Amino acid sequence: GAVVSQHPSWVICKSGTSVKIECRSLDFQATTMFWYRQFPKQSLMLMATSNEGSKATYEQGVEKDKFLINHASLTLSTLTVTSAHPEDSSFYICSAVRGTIQYFGAGTRLSVL
């Protein structure tokens, strides 16, 4: 149990376009999901906490207008990178909470040309 699906696993886009990443909890309901960003050979940096039915809570320094988060149901949270630029290229990972454990998706590698 506790499977989290993240889609797409890899996306290449042109600068200025928007990209949507989906995070789904497949076999449990998740009131809370998290979105992280990870640079090569570095740790996870928490971007925001996604709460079902309410606005996301963003960490300091993360632009809420650039990284739009929607948690419209108990099994789905989406992260939209708006007007993507090359510096947004990174590995984005989501997690969904069940109990006190975070269960992670497989990640999305975003490359902005």
Partner 1 sequence: SQQGEEDPQALSIQEGENATMNCSYKTSINNLQWYRQNSGRGLVHLILIRSNEREKHSGRLRVTLDTSKKSSSLLITASRAADTASYFCATANSGGSNYKLTFGKGTLLTVNP
Given the rule CB under 8 A, which residues bind partner 1? 4, 6, 32, 34, 41-46, 49, 91, 93, 95, 97, 99-107, 109
- Residue 2 or 13: which CB sits closer to partner 1? 2
Q: How far is the CB of 8 from partner 1 (least distance, A)?
A: 14
- Which of residues 15 and 42 has its CB atom nearest to partner 1 in the complex? 42
| Residue 35 CB, nearest approach to partner 1 (Å) | 12
Q: What does the radius of gyration of the chain's CA atoms come to, in whole angstroms?
A: 13
Q: Which is nearer to partner 1, 45 or 82 (CB)?
A: 45
The least CB distance from residue 83 to partner 1, in Å, is: 26
At closest approach, how far in Å is the CB of 85 from partner 1?
22
